Amino acid sequence: MWIPSDTGDYRLLDCSDGERLELWKDKILVRPDPQVIWRSARTDKRWNSADARYSRSSSGGGSWSENSLPESWRVRVSGLLFRIKPMGFKHTGLFPEQAANWEWFSELIKNAGRQISVLNLFAYTGGATVACAAAGAKVCHVDAAKNMVSLAKENAALNSLADAPIRYIVDDCSKFVAREKRRGSRYDAVIMDPPSYGRGPGGETWKLEDSIHSFISEALSLLSDDPLFVLVNSYTTGLSAGTVDYLLRLASKDLGGRTESAELGLRVGSTGLCLPCGASSRWSR
User: What confidence tens digit (pLDDT) does each residue in 3-33 have?
Assistant: 999 999 999 999 999 999 999 999 999 999 9
Residue 70 pLDDT class (50, 70, 90 cuts) = very high
pLDDT on residue 237: 78
pLDDT on residue 202: 65
CA distance 125 to 83: 9
3-state secondary structure of 171: coil
- Residue 165's region, left for phi above 0, alpha for psi from -120 to 50, else beta, is beta
Residue 273 pLDDT class (50, 70, 90 cuts) = very high
CA distance 150 to 137: 20
Residue 199 pLDDT class (50, 70, 90 cuts) = low
Choose between 55 and 203: higher pLDDT.
55
Q: What is the mean pLDDT of residues 231-253?
A: 92
Choose between 240 and 227: higher pLDDT.
227
Instruction: Considering only the C-alpha atoms of the chain, give the largest distance between any 2 of them, rounded to a whole number of Å.
Output: 58
Mean pLDDT, all residues of the chain: 94
Phi, psi values for residue 39, rounded to 5°: -125, 125
For residues 274 and 267, the answer to whether their CB atoms sit within 8 Å is yes
For residues 62 and 90, the answer to whether their CB atoms sit within 8 Å is yes
Calculate the dihedral angle through the C-alpha atoms of 52, 129, 236, 169, rounding to the nearest 10 degrees. 100
The HSE-up count of residue 183 (CA atoms within 13 Å, CB side) is 9
3-state secondary structure of 37: coil
Hey, what amino acid is at 108? L
Phi, psi values for residue 184, rounded to 5°: 80, 20
CA distance 148 to 143: 7
pLDDT tops 70 at residue 205: no
pLDDT on residue 257: 96
Start and end residues for every CATH 3.40.50.150 domain found in the chain = 96-284
Per-residue pLDDT tens for 118-145? 999 999 999 999 999 999 999 999 999 9
Q: What is the mean pLDDT of residues 57-77?
A: 88
Start and end residues for every CATH 2.60.40.1180 domain found in the chain = 10-73
* Other beta carbons within 10 Å of 210: 10
Phi, psi values for residue 116, rounded to 5°: -100, 135
Cα three-residue angle 80-86-89, rounded to 5 degrees: 115
What is the CATH T-level fold of the domain 96-284, as seen in this structure? Rossmann fold (3.40.50)
CATH architecture assignment, domain 10-73: Sandwich (2.60)
From 49-53, 106-110, 181-185, 211-215, the region with the lowest mean pLDDT: 211-215
pLDDT on residue 239: 82
pLDDT tops 60 at residue 200: no
What is the C-alpha R_g of the chain? 19
pLDDT on residue 206: 58
pLDDT tops 80 at residue 192: yes
For residues 54 and 84, the answer to whether their CB atoms sit within 8 Å is no
